[in-house]
Structure 1
Amino acid sequence: MQYPTVIVNGVSVRVDEEGRYNLNDLHAAAVLKGEATEAQRPSKFMRSSQIGRFAESLTKAQKRASVKIIKGGIESGIWGLELIAIRYAAWLNPAFEIRVYETFREAVLNGISSMTMLNRLDLLITNEKQEVSECARKMNRWGVGGRKNMLETTRQNLIDQMDPDMVAIMQGAA
């Protein structure tokens, strides 16, 4: 599944393949606008027993790790599911929490809008494929040895049965 990337205060918050957002990126975004201090790091947030219980409950409910801690490397930091990220934003600053919540909600709504457009397009493609296939079947039935041949043969049989003078009059009128 593709999780939406969010940008808060001009900082792109990374998301991993499990839908966990980098809390260190959120911290940097909050510090950038003076909505958090350097001391309010994600590691301090995670030391709270209340947050630990919340993360444990979320892990059980979601059936996947709600928090992932990576030490060292380019992916280092504390990664948390969206609800953990919003809880962290609330812990930093109420105004920042609102901005983060609205950013996540907008990302989801944009994703839903894109999904709706994609579903409509898929339906349109399916319907048009069916119409084209039906036209192709009709053309096949019409073609060589098909309905066209049968109609032309029937026409010729009728002409052959008619009075030759009547045929000449019909051909002259046409």
Structure 2
Amino acid sequence: MSALMIAGIEIHKDQDGRFSLNDFHRAAGGEKRHAPNEWLRNAQAQELVEEIGKPENPGLGGNAGIPALRVVKGGRAPGTYACKELVYAYAMWVSPVFSLHVIRTFDTVAANDHVIPQEKRLPIAADNLDAAKRIAESFGLEGNQALLCANSMVKSAIGVDLMEMAGVKRLVNETQEMNFTPTELGAKFGMSAVSMNKLLADCGLQHQVIYKPGKKRWEVTPDGKLFAVITDTGKKHSDGKPVQQILWKESVQEMLARLADKLRSGMPAVVAGGVTR
């Protein structure tokens, strides 16, 4: 198993793989009442040491022929060394919060240990992927970008490449669209930004809202949300509402072209639900 770090304290092991309870004691705060020798005085701890040491119980204290607990009083690395089961018991004796922290740390390190079968690493990696995806989305990433970023974070954090485990070599490309300002969109139709905004309104995609006497702003309608991308500018209107810029997806051009052709030809155009008829 890879090195353990609890609260910034490295947990050392002896030559047989037992963990230093003294290191765990320091990680728990180092209070005298939580010293390993104090824990070993209670009957429950002694009973657990004896139970693990029975021949029928596999592990350090059983079939392996290695005692579950070892107390070193001299030499270069004195201290109390215990198997993982005793570490869990000691941590719970200190406090439930410390115990949970210890268990989760063991699980995370185990997930990063390539000796552990992949099926045992998967649940931990999946939980990490969900958290990483939320982080990616909080930075404005979406779709494949968010998934690739999340997978990279999980691989970096616990050494598990979920895409590789799933046999996914690449993600199917998402449909990419350019986004345009009313000025850029108007240029494609040979009209000004003012005329383009009016055309977008005629299509039922946006409408003007009076937020202050003499002051108006464009807001996207429910039908317009399918074609619009709202971006924050970091500024605010005089009423305190954030100033947002409306960008329009290139897919809106087909609808605009149909309406523009009808307007140019003098044919009546009825707009309902954002669709010209």
TM-score range normalised by the length of the shorter chain: 0.5 to 0.7
More strand by share: 2
Alignment of 1:60-99 (within 5 A): 60=54, 61=57, 62=59, 63=62, 64-99=66-101
Shift of 1:112: 3.6
Segments of 5+ residues of structure 1 without an aligned counterpart are 118-174
> CA separation in 2, counterparts of 1:57 and 1:81?
13
Moved segments of 4+, more than 6 Å: none
Given that 1:6 and 1:104 are in contact with CA atoms closer than 8 Å, whether structure 2 keeps it comes out as yes
Shift of 1:93: 1.3
Give the number of the structure with larger relative contact order, counting CA–CA contacts within 8 Å between residues 6 or more apart: 1
Shift of 1:59: 2.2
- For the pair 1:45 / 2:45, whether they are aligned, the reply is no
More helix by share: 1
| 1:148 equivalent in structure 2 | none
Cα deviations across residues 32-67 of structure 1 (Å, max 9, x unaligned)?
xxxx62221000101112111111111221222110
Shift of 1:17: 2.6
Secondary structure of 1:68 counterpart: strand
Change (3 A) 1:84 1:114: closer
> CA separation in 2, counterparts of 1:73 and 1:17?
14
Alignment of 1:9-20 (within 5 A): 9-20=7-18
TM-score of the two chains, using structure 2 as the length reference:
0.37
Segments of 5+ residues of structure 2 without an aligned counterpart are 119-158, 160-277
RMSD: 2.0
| 2:139 equivalent in structure 1 | none
- Bigger Rg over Cα: 1
Number of matched residues? Answer: 111
Given that 1:19 and 1:82 are in contact with CA atoms closer than 8 Å, whether structure 2 keeps it comes out as no
Shift of 1:16: 1.8
Shift of 1:15: 1.2
Shift of 1:115: 6.9
Given that 1:45 and 1:51 are in contact with CA atoms closer than 8 Å, whether structure 2 keeps it comes out as yes
